[in-house]
């Protein structure tokens, strides 16, 4: 006998004329307006990134160190408000605020994204191994993250930037560690702790799930269980935290710049712009408000995208 399946054990699908379509019908895939928020967020970040990358080749963006002559023909302080001469006005050194905002996006976005990636890689790794192995691994990781969380973040950042800069000066092999990368690493370390905690908590609950037990009972090694079984289930949580963290880190870079711990002199960032011009907000609001607005819209866009992505990755909602 080739098969033992008879009429009474007939597989569920064989007998029923498959009422539930296995694949969704094609017409369901028609384009749908995804909502104003997400369109705005993607559009805004897309155009900002485009402008920042190609600023050097776009004629309508002056170089950030170019001096815009005032109405009297000579450069001066805050001479133009927003208008045709300078879209976002000029700042205290006759620089074009629009140009500085665009060039500032280069540094700000880079710092934010790289610091977040650093935080996700390190924090995610620590969180997964702590949650999966428990025991002493867990205890050590928790001590590290607790210390990072217990110290005031700003104080920690100041100390870290300071120490890393000293290191870069002393050690020749750290030549690549410019001020920008120092800040990336500092902010990345700060982002590690909360990410590690969240990933650990998720891992703790996932490792008790039966599919993890099933993988172990199939003889899978710990590495395989962590990366093939647990990690895919962590992605939504990591994405949500990552995108929220990204916005916080961009703002944090501003805060560091505010304290004079910004990137190299001459490289504009949003934080530095705000810092330099905030004293004159009464007479020249544009020099402060526009960088603030950019920061705000960027943070908002990342949050909208993060929210949408995590919903997309939620199996139950995406399945409908």
Partner 1 sequence: MAGTGKAHLRDSPDVLLRIEDLVVEFPVGRTGLKVNAVSGISLDVLRGETLGLVGESGCGKSTTGRAIMQLPRPTSGSVVFEGSELTRLTGDEMREARTRMQMIFQDPISSLNPRRKVRQIVMEPLNIWKRGTDAERSQKVDSILEEVGIDPTRAAESQPHQFSGGQCQRISIARSLVLDPSLIICDEPVSALDVSVQAQVLNLLEDLKAEYGLTLIFIAHDLAVVKNISDRVAVMYLGKICEVAPSDVLYENPAHHYTSVLLNSIPVPDPEVAVTKTAIEGEPPSPVLPPPGCRFNPRCPAAQDICRTEEPQLRAVGDGHFVACHFPTVTPVELSTR
Partner 2 sequence: MSDLIQASSRDIDGPLLVLKDVTTHFKTPRGLVRAVDGVSFTLDRGKALGIVGESGSGKTILSRSIMGLLPPRGTVRGGSITFEGREIGNLGRKEMRSVWGKEMAMIFQDPMTSLNPVMKIGRQIAEPLQIHLGMTKQNAWATAERLLQDVRIPEAKRRLEQYPHEMSGGMRQRVMIAIALACGPTALFADEPTTALDVTVQAQILDLLGEQRRDRNMSLVLVTHDLGVVAGHTDEIAVMYGGKLVEKATTKGLFANMKMPYTEALLNSIPRLEDRSHTRLSAIAGRPPDLVNPPKGCRFAPRCPYAQPKCQNEEPPLVPTAEDPNHLYACWYPVGSPENTEIKVRIAASKSEFAAAAGGN
Residues that bind partner 1 (CB under 8 A): 4-5, 8-14, 22-23, 209-211, 213-221, 224, 228-229, 232-233, 235, 315-316, 319
The answer to whether residue 8 forms part of the interface with partner 2 (CB under 8 A) is yes
Residue 28 binds which entry of partner 1, partner 2, none, CB below 5-8 Å type-dependent: partner 2
Residue 233 binds which entry of partner 2, partner 1, none, CB below 5-8 Å type-dependent: partner 1
Determine the Cα–Cα distance for residues 111 and 117; give it in Å rounded to an integer.
10
Nearest CA-CA partner of 302 in 290, 314, 292, 294: 294
Residue 296 binds which entry of partner 1, partner 2, none, CB below 5-8 Å type-dependent: none
Among 22, 28, 215, 260, binds partner 2 (CB under 8 A): 28
The answer to whether residue 175 forms part of the interface with partner 2 (CB under 8 A) is no
Considering only the stretches 12-20, 218-226, 239-247, 287-295, report the one whose residues sit in contact with partner 2 under the rule CB under 8 A. Answer: 12-20
Considering only the stretches 1-9, 106-114, 177-185, 213-221, report the one whose residues sit in contact with partner 2 under the rule CB under 8 A. Answer: 1-9
Residue 22 binds which entry of partner 2, partner 1, none, CB below 5-8 Å type-dependent: partner 1
> Nearest distance from residue 308's CB to partner 2, in Å?
18
The phi-psi region of residue 74 (left if phi > 0; otherwise alpha if psi is between -120 and 50; otherwise beta) is beta
> Nearest distance from residue 283's CB to partner 2, in Å?
53
The answer to whether residue 209 forms part of the interface with partner 2 (CB under 8 A) is no
> Nearest distance from residue 138's CB to partner 1, in Å?
15
The answer to whether residue 19 forms part of the interface with partner 2 (CB under 8 A) is yes
Q: Rounded to the nearest 5°, which phi and psi values hold at 96?
A: -85, 120
Determine the Cα–Cα distance for residues 115 and 216; give it in Å rounded to an integer.
34
Cβ-based nearer residue to partner 1, 6 or 72: 6
Residues in 301-320 at the binding interface with partner 2, rule: CB under 8 A = 320
> Nearest distance from residue 320's CB to partner 2, in Å?
6
Applying CB under 8 A, the residues found at the interface with partner 2 are 1, 6-17, 19-20, 24, 28, 320
């Amino acid at each position: 006998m080739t098969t033992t399946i008879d009429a009474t054990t007939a597989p569920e699908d064989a007998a029923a004329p498959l009422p539930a379509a296995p694949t969704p019908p094609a017409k369901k895939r028609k384009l749908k307006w995804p909502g104003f928020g997400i369109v705005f967020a993607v559009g805004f970040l897309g155009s900002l990134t485009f402008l920042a990358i190609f600023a050097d080749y776009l004629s309508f963006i002056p170089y950030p160190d170019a001096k815009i002559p005032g109405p009297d023909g000579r450069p001066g302080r805050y001479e133009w408000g927003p208008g045709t001469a300078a879209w976002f006005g000029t700042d205290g050194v006759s620089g074009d605020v629009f140009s500085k905002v665009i060039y500032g996006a280069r540094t700000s976005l880079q710092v934010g994204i790289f610091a977040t990636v650093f935080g996700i890689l390190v924090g995610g790794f620590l969180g997964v191994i702590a949650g999966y192995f428990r025991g002493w691994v867990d205890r050590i990781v928790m001590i590290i993250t607790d210390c990072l969380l217990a110290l005031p973040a700003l104080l920690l950042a100041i100390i870290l930037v300071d120490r890393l800069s000293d290191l870069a000066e002393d050690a020749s092999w750290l030549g690549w560690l410019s001020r920008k990368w120092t800040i990336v690493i500092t902010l990345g370390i700060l982002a590690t702790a909360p990410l590690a905690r969240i990933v650990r908590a998720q891992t703790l609950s996932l490792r008790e799930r039966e599919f993890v037990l099933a993988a172990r009972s199939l003889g899978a090694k710990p590495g395989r269980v962590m990366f093939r079984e647990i990690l895919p289930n962590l992605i939504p949580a990591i994405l949500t935290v990552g995108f929220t963290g990204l916005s916080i880190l961009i703002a944090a870079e501003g805060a560091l710049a505010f304290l004079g711990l910004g990137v190299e002199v001459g490289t504009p960032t949003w934080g530095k712009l705000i810092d330099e011009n905030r004293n004159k907000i009464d007479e020249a609001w544009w020099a402060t408000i526009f960088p603030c607005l950019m920061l705000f819209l960027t943070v908002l866009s990342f949050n909208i995208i993060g929210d949408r992505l995590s919903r997309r990755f939620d199996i139950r909602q995406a399945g409908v």
